[in-house]
A = this chain, B = another copy of it.
Amino acid sequence: MLRLSTKGQYGVRAMYEIARGYPDEPVNIKSISRRQDVSIHYLEQILNRLRRAGLIKSVKGPGGGYLLTRPPEEISIAEILEELEGPFALTSCLNPEEGCVRVDRCVTHLLWKSLGWQIESFLRTVTLDDLLKGFKPLDYQTLLKRARV
C-alpha cells in the first residue's frame, strides 16, 4: 500500500551517487547504472528531469557526468521526489488541479491531508548529506525528534 514508484526510488539513489562527487567530480551515468543496478536508458530519463528542475547540471565530453548544483545538505529527499512524482497528495481530491466537490462533507479528507503533511514534513528533514553520512533512523522516537523540529 502507498507504494513509491521505481522512478522515485532510482532517482534518490542516483542523486546519492552524484552527491558523492560533490563539489567537483562529475559522475557519469554508466557508473551510476553499475553501482545502483539501474538501466542506463531509464536513468537518462530520470536525470533529465532532475537536470531540467535545476537539481543537477551536466558536464559533457570525456570525464563528464553530472554534478549537484547545491550542497548535499541543502537538497532534501522531498525535493527529489516532488520533481519526479509530483506533489504530495495522497488522493486526487487533494490535488489542486483535480479537486473534489465532496470536500466539505467528506469525513476522511482531513485525515488524508494530515497524513500527507506528515510524510512531506519528514522527507523535508532528510537530506542527501544524511544519506552520505549513513543516516540510519533506528526507531520511531528518533524519527519523531527529527520531525518535531
Are B119 and A140 in contact, with the CB atoms below 8 A? no
Q: Which residues of B contact A118 (CB under 8 A)?
A: 118-119, 122, 140, 143, 147
Using an 8 Å CB-CB cutoff, how does the interface string of A101-127 with B read, 1 for contact, 0 for none? 010001110111011011101110010
Q: Does A48 contact B (CB under 8 A)?
A: no
Q: A68-115: which have CB < 8 Å to B?
A: 77, 81-82, 85-92, 102, 106-108, 110-112, 114-115
Copies per assembly: 2
Which residues of A approach B to under 8 Å, CB–CB?
1-5, 8-9, 12-13, 16, 37, 77, 81-82, 85-92, 102, 106-108, 110-112, 114-115, 117-119, 121-123, 126, 131, 134-137, 140, 143-144, 147-148
- Decide: A90 and B137 in contact? CB cutoff 8 A: no
Contacts known (A9-B108, A122-B115); A144 close to B144, Cβ less than 8 A: yes
Whether B111 contacts A3 by the Cβ 8 Å rule is no
Residues of chain B within 8 A (CB-CB) of A147 are 118, 144
Docked Cα-Cα span, A123 to B143, in Å, equals 16
CB <8 Å contact, A2 and B121: no
Q: Which of A12, A102, A114, A131 has its CB near the most chain B CB atoms (within 10 A)?
A: A114
Shortest Cβ distance from residue A5 to the other chain B in the assembled complex, whole angstroms? 8
